Amino acid sequence: MLEIKNLNVYYGAIHALKGVNLTIRPGEIVAVLGANGAGKTTLLRAITGLVKVPEGEVVFEGRVLNKVPPFQRVAAGLAMVPEGRGVFPNLTVRENLLMGAYIHRKNAPAVKELLHELLKEFPRLQERVNQKAGTLSGGEQQMLAICRALMSRPRLLLLDEPSMGLSPLLGQEVFKLIDRIRDRGTTILLVEQNANAALRIADRGYVLEMGVIALAGSAAELAASDLVRVAYLA
């Protein structure tokens, strides 16, 4: 579904991603693990088009995305939940969700139905639908950010550290939600520092270290590997 070939990204003189190869098949949850500064967020930015890719290819469903501007990649079927949630604090919950369905803005009835469906599934957001997003708790904001991304009906959902800044309990809830989203047919790329929780729901995983894929394999293999155990699970 998504194929990344020999991806290189630079920030000035810094070589942030050095020849990364990565494949995601439909229906999978793929985890990308790594410490701070390993290049996880950069990888997501390259997929969504927020950074330029001078070398390598990002291929989504057979289409090379390198030259496609970010706002058109959403229409291709990609959605991202940015790091630190990134909800719009001054907009209400409903307005945030409507912004998520931005690419479907010409089809108001469908958006309305989608909104209705989503709110039924998340009663906590329904209760706060007219409240400003900035007044929600951290967990609710994360849920809103994920729902907002779902409003574009993506086939591939990119999540950047969804458990960051949440209590372990809330974090677990978010991971359960991610599993549920996959069951409904959305493929997921999950970038996480919390290797333990991520590998529990993931099918396969990659370990990024200093911009290089240090390890790749099934979730079970990664959880058992020395590298991951020593670095992230100890």
Helix crossing, 93-100 with 108-121: angle to 10°? Answer: 120
Total residues interacting with other proteins, rule: CB under 8 A: 34
User: Cβ 98 to other proteins, closest distance in Å?
Assistant: 7
Residue 92 CA from chain centroid, whole number? 22
Helix axes 93-100, 138-150, angle to 10 degrees: 30
- The token duo for 98 is 């409507």
Residues 3-62 that bind other proteins (CB under 8 A): 48-50
Contact flag: residue 224 with other proteins (CB under 8 A): no
Nearer to other proteins among residue 128 and residue 204 (C-beta)? 128
Expressed in percent and rounded to 5, the helix, strand and coil fractions of the chain are 40, 25, 30
The verdict on 214 binding other proteins (CB under 8 A) reads no
Whether 233 contacts 45, CB under 8 Å: no
CB of 191 to other proteins, least distance (A): 14
Query: Can you say how many angstroms the Cα of residue 21 is from the centroid of all Cα atoms in its chain?
Result: 18
The answer to whether the beta carbons of residues 23 and 206 sit under 8 Å apart is no
10 or 102: CB nearest other proteins: 102
- The residue among 165, 152, 214, 217 whose CA lies nearest residue 192 is 165
User: What distance in Å separates the CA atoms of residue 159 and residue 131, rounded to the nearest whole number?
Assistant: 24
Least separation in angstroms between CB 99 and other proteins? 5
Residues 38 and 187: beta-carbon distance below 8 Å: no
Binding track over 78-117 against other proteins, x by CB under 8 A? -xx-x---x-xxxxx--x--xxx-xx-x----------x-
Q: Does 71 bind other proteins (CB under 8 A)?
A: yes
Nearer to other proteins, 160 or 222 (CB): 160
Q: x-or-dash pattern for other proteins, window 126-165, by CB under 8 A?
A: x--xxxx---------------x---x-------------
Amino acid at 25: R
d(CA 39, CA 18): 9
State the nearest-atom distance from the C-beta of 60 to other proteins, in Å: 14
Among the residue ranges 74-82, 173-181, 183-191, 213-221, the one whose residues contact other proteins (CB under 8 A):
74-82
State the residues that interact with other proteins by CB under 8 A.
48-50, 69-72, 74-75, 79-80, 82, 86, 88-92, 95, 98-100, 102-103, 105, 116, 119, 126, 129-132, 148, 152
